[in-house]
Amino acid sequence: MVKQFFNRFIKLSSFISIIVVVKFTFVIAQNNEAPKLDMTVNRGVIKPISLAIPSFIKESGANSIISRELAKVISNNLDSTGLFRSIPQAAYVSTPLSFNTPVQFSDWSIINADVLVLGAVGLKPDGRLEVKFRLWDIAQQKEIGKGKKYFTNSESWRRISHKISDTIYTRVTGEGAYFDSRVVFVSETGPKDNRTKRLAVMDQDGANFKLLKHPPSLVIAPRFAPSSNKIIFTGYETGRPRVYLMDLSSEAITALPELEGMSFAPRFSMDGTKIVLSITQNGNTDIFINSLDTGIKKRLTTNSAIDTAPSFSPDGNSIVFESDRGGGQQLYIISTKGGEAKRISFGKGRYATPVWSPRGDLIAFTKIKEGKFHIGVMRVDGTKERLLTTSFLDEGPAWAPNGRVLMFFRETPGKAGAPSIYSIDISGRNLRKIKTSSFASDPNWSRILN
C-alpha cells in the first residue's frame, strides 16, 4: 500500500523536505506499481523519517529487560539505515500502557514523530514469548499495514526484533528486507606479520559473534550457501590453498573434490547447486564451475591471463569475473555455457572482486586507482559506474539480501594496520563501521533467514 511512498519521497526529496512528503504520500500511495530502484537516490539530502518506538508493553510475566531491548534493537536497526531517526524515549510525553488502547496521536505529533511502533511482549505458560506490534502513521492517524504477532523461545528474541525491523523497513520504504540475516567473515588477531585468521559468524548488526571450529591453518573469504546453513571457503590445511565446505550446524568440513593445483575464490550459485571458483594450474589461474550434485567440473576460461574472483548472476546463466587479459585487471561477463567473455569495465584504474547484486541490476566491485582503493557499483552493462568509498585499502564488497546495502572491509596502513568491516548504502550515504570484538575482513552476507 505505502510501498511507493519511498520512491516518490526520493524523487521529491531534492525539493521538498520529508515531513511534507510523508503527509502527502500516505494519501497518494494507493496505486500498486512495483517498487523500483531509483538511481537518483544519492542526490539531495534526505531528512530521516522520525520514529517513536516506546519500550514494548509488558504483558503476562514478560521481563522488563526484554521489553526494553526489543524496542532498542529495532530502533538501532532502523537508525542504521540512515533513513530513520529514533526520537529519544526521554522526549516522549506519554507512555503507552496497553496494546489495545486507542493511540493518542497528539502525544506523538507534538514530538514530531512521523511513525509510531507500538509493541507488546508476553510470556506464555509453555515458556514461549509472544511478541506483537502495530505500525502507525501519526500524520494520517492510520495504521500502516496490519499488526503482526510472533511466538518464539525466549533466547531468540533478537530475531523477532530483526523481523519486526524488516517489516517496518519494507512497509515504509518499499525496499526488500535485510535485518534478519547473518554475516560470515574472517576474524583476525595478532600482529600484521603474524596474523591468526579464524572463520566467524555474527548477526548483521554485529551481535551473536561466534568463532567457527577449523584447523589453525590460514583461511580466506568464506561465502554463504543460499540456504545459509553451509559456507564455502579457502583453507591451507594441506599447505596449499584449497576450497572447503563447512556445514554450519555441525561445523564439519569437507574438501571440494576433483581440484588439482591450487583452488580459491569460491562462490555458490543462487540455487545452491553449483560453485564457481578459480583454479591455478602451472601458474595460470582460470575459472571453473563445479556441480555439487553431479560432481562434474567444467572449465569456463582457458586464457593465459589471471581469471579470478567469479560471481554468479541471480538467474545462474552468467558469471562476472576479473581478468588481466587486456593488460590490467578489468571486469568481464561470460555465459555459464562458455564462449567469449565480454568486457564491461573500461574506466581508468584496476577493477577487481565483482559481485552480482541479488536483485540482478548492479555489480559491486573493488577499484584501485592512483594508489587508492574504492568500493563501487555499476550496471550489468558497465554503465553508470559510481564509486561509493575511498581509502588506503577498501576491498571485497558483499551484498545485503535486498541489494540496497554493501558490506566490505577497510584496512588501515602501516605497522599497526588492520581490517574492520563497514557497511554503506548503495546511494553512497551512511558509511558505518560494524563493531566486532577482533579485527575483521572478508564479510559475506546471508540471505534473509527462514
Partner 1 sequence: MKNIGLAIFVMLLLAGCENNKNLKNSINESQISQSDIENFQNLVGDTVLFTVDQSGLRPDAISILNAQVNWLKEKKFLPITVEGHADEQGTREYNLALGARRATAVREFLLTRGIEKDRISIVTYGKERPLRVCSNEECWSKNRRAVTVVGQKIVE
Q: Which residues bind partner 1 (CB under 8 A)?
A: 191-193, 195, 197, 215-218, 220-221, 237-241, 260-262, 264-265, 278, 280, 282-283, 285, 306, 308-309, 322, 324, 329, 352-353, 366, 368, 371, 392-393, 395-396, 411, 413-415, 417, 442
Q: Measure Cα distances from 159 to 75, 89, 120, 167, 181 in Å.
A: 14, 22, 15, 12, 9
Q: Would you say 21 or 245 has its CB closer to partner 1?
A: 245
**Minimum distance from CB of 266 to partner 1 (Å)?**
10
Contacts of 317 (CB under 8 A, 6+ apart): 335, 336
**Minimum distance from CB of 355 to partner 1 (Å)?**
12
Q: Would you say 50 or 234 has its CB closer to partner 1?
A: 234
Instruction: Provide the grid cell at 91.
Output: 522526549
Q: Would you say 339 or 413 has its CB closer to partner 1?
A: 413
**Minimum distance from CB of 299 to partner 1 (Å)?**
16
**Minimum distance from CB of 144 to partner 1 (Å)?**
43
**Minimum distance from CB of 96 to partner 1 (Å)?**
50
**Minimum distance from CB of 113 to partner 1 (Å)?**
45
Q: Would you say 278 or 345 has its CB closer to partner 1?
A: 278
**Minimum distance from CB of 328 to partner 1 (Å)?**
8
Q: Would you say 22 or 184 has its CB closer to partner 1?
A: 184
Q: Would you say 169 or 373 has its CB closer to partner 1?
A: 373
Contact call for residues 355 and 362 (beta carbons, < 8 A): no
Q: Would you say 169 or 399 has its CB closer to partner 1?
A: 399
